[in-house]
Amino acid sequence: MSHTRIDVLTLGNAIVDVLAHTDEAFLLQKKVHKGAMQLIDEARAEELYGDMGPAIIVSGGSGANTAAGVASFGVKAGFIGKVKNDETGKLFAHDLKAIDVHYDVAPAQDGPATARSFILVTPDGERTMNTYLGACQNLTPDDVNPETVRASSIVYLEGYLWDPPLAKEAFRKAVKIAHEAGNKVALTLSDAFCVDRYRDEFLGLMRDGSLDILFANIHELQSLYGTSSPEAALAALREEKVLGAITRSADGALVVSRGETLAVPAFPVERVVDTTGAGDLFASGFLTGLVQNMELADCARLGGLAAAEIISHLGARPQTNLRELAQQQGLLG
């Protein structure tokens, strides 16, 4: 495999999403924090699954969703994440290979089940995630193939990986190999609560040269700098040595570097059905643009296009060919 170039390699939690429409009353009854991601154990996972309404089962996981988006744009994607050799794990691996994402991490033969995230979608399209990490947590540095990392122009890391201790080591290993090979490293902050848990470490990664590109939504960025002011968070980001791609929901995105801040409007969406994966898909478009040396504003436009596609239906994997969509919009030749 050493000779196969990969444009974007993502590292993340390999998760299968179980999505169901629900109402606010169910969230209250189950004592879940609306709009956030909570980690749950296997017993709680079974309880939620038993009580939630008819569900759609679709492969997910933030980094894997980004890889799926990149592949849909017609550039080469790879993924590193751990599943168990069970039905759910086989579904996950099949779904990636079916869309031509390079995935060669050996499944675990024993231990906890493949991860599942129970995603409750309220009528406003907001998603509330309850995630059982299971086999994900057993991603180790041994699962990071140095040849794959060296062959990848950009390595994209998911902030959620900071929860399992061994995954953190896998993450650091990937950063070191990528930079030694002259490749770029990106991190997505994943979730404001995730940032609260690891603020100092994330700031450290930015400041010790581990990161070249940072993805976040404006709330995650405010959490990172411990401020209630979006302006203060953006001002702080401008001082860092990274390229920032910051999403603001309906207000579009900002591309932040030391020299300039570009504002790119959101793509119009007729109806928001489910916001799951909007940030993951924004990253896929932005990274696709970057590996093709596009202007930064156009990278953000590609991101916005992918995010608009994903929020118009249930599930966090594209249902329309993103390359064709981008060509129709005149964003890709």
Encode pLDDT of 231-265 as tens digits.
999 999 999 999 999 999 889 999 999 889 999 99
Residue 2 has pLDDT above 80, yes or no: no
Which residue, 64, 91, 20, 48, is CA-closest to 277? 64
Q: What is the structure's pLDDT at 1?
A: 44
- For residue 257, give the nearest of 273, 269, 245 by alpha carbon: 245
Q: Residue 217 — pLDDT band, cuts 50, 70, 90? A: very high
- Domains present along the chain, CATH in parentheses: 6-12+62-111+134-328 (3.40.1190.20)
The pLDDT of residue 3: 56
Give me the pLDDT at residue 163, please. 83
Sheet holding 6-11, edge to edge: 77-80, 6-11, 152-158, 184-188, 213-217, 243-247, 253-256, 261-264
pTM of the model as a whole:
0.93
Tokens of 62: 């933030």
Contact indicator for 164, 14 with CB cutoff of 8 Å:
no
CA nearest neighbour of 139 among 113, 158, 165:
165
Whole-number Å distance between alpha carbons of 278 and 247: 9
DSSP letter at 29? H
Query: Would you tell me how many other CB atoms lie within 10 Å of the CB of residue 36?
Result: 14
